[in-house]
Amino acid sequence: MLEQIKETASYIRAQITDIPKTAIILGTGLGALVDHIDEKQYIPYQEIPNFPISTVEGHSGNLIFGKLGNKRVMAMQGRFHFYEGYDMKQVTFPVRVMKELGIKTLFVSNAAGGMNPTFQIGDIMVINDHINLFPEHPLRGKNFTELGDRFPDMSEAYSHRLINAALNIAEEKGIRVVQGVYVGTQGPTFETPAEYRYFHRIGGDAVGMSTVPEVIVARHGGMEVFAVSVITDLGVEGIVEKVSHEEVQKAAQQAQPKMMEIMKELVNRV
């Protein structure tokens, strides 16, 4: 694994002269942030040695390097989901490469179903903690101390410093944001009413099929992490409605400008 990480990182270094310290995983609801990145250089995932290839509709695959405001960033346009059939080492491989490239701060976005009864569709939820319910752990297997500790601390998986900065920005801009615990689950089914209820009762505010593996690996590597969910549907007790991929995309699309404004400002401020 170490050799693959190094090989991929040197392939990227050979093409990109000025590697940033900040990376963003553009999940559902933040794809259009790409339009705000200037002086873009693209590397399609297919061309990158050892990179998996994205398969889901609505997720194209490119690494993008450029400037977001005055900050140089590396963006992942499209991520790898466990439900697509990748194992956890593949899902999190790009985060390993980021670390090798010298990335210090990781920003992540996703779409999620809200279980907290105070949430509304279209809300932005700043993730303040997570519950990992994926059936495979990204750190299972031999630990390479070069990459991180065998038993990593997770007491502050989501940086309090970045959460506070994001909340300040939202307040200044008059954007409603909520905070909560993200439950990471394998999908690809959306939840049954009983599952939403269960995830809420164990302490979750929203549920989705991504983010947790990448965050675990980023923390293993010592990166500072910030993540947000756009609440695209509600799994609130008594009012669980039918949900589809299309509806999730549509709700995420509508919330996108708010999400983008916060992220752009946050990336530039920290």
Give the footprint of ligand HPA on this chain (CB under 6 A): 111-113, 187, 190-191, 207-209, 232-233, 235, 243, 248
- CB contact at 8 A, 178 and 121: no
CB of 113 to ligand HPA, least distance (A): 2
Query: Closest CB to ligand HPA among 165 and 243?
Result: 243
In three-state secondary structure terms, 21 is coil
Query: Closest CB to ligand HPA among 100 and 195?
Result: 195
Query: Closest CB to ligand HPA among 232 and 256?
Result: 232
Residue nearest to ligand HPA (CB): 113
Amino acid at 13: R
Query: Closest CB to ligand HPA among 28 and 159?
Result: 28
Helix (H) or strand (E) holding 73: strand 71-77
Query: Closest CB to ligand HPA among 43 and 231?
Result: 231
CB of 186 to ligand HPA, least distance (A): 10
218 to 10, 192, 213: CA distances (angstroms): 19, 31, 9
CB proximity list for 176: less than 8 A, separation 6 or greater:
123, 124, 170
Question: What is the rounded distance in angstroms from the CA atom of residue 265 to the CA atom of residue 79?
Answer: 23
Query: Closest CB to ligand HPA among 113 and 180?
Result: 113
CB of 114 to ligand HPA, least distance (A): 8
Give the ranges where the chain is alpha helix by DSSP (H): 2-15, 88-91, 93-101, 160-173, 193-201, 212-220, 245-269
% helix, strand, coil for the chain, step of 5: 35, 25, 40
Question: What is the rounded distance in angstroms from the CA atom of residue 246 to the CA atom of residue 65?
Answer: 29
Question: What is the rounded distance in angstroms from the CA atom of residue 54 to the CA atom of residue 149?
Answer: 29
Question: What is the rounded distance in angstroms from the CA atom of residue 114 to the CA atom of residue 149?
Answer: 33
CB of 158 to ligand HPA, least distance (A): 18
Number of CB atoms found within 10 A of residue 133's CB? 15
Query: Closest CB to ligand HPA among 8 and 185?
Result: 185
CB of 247 to ligand HPA, least distance (A): 9
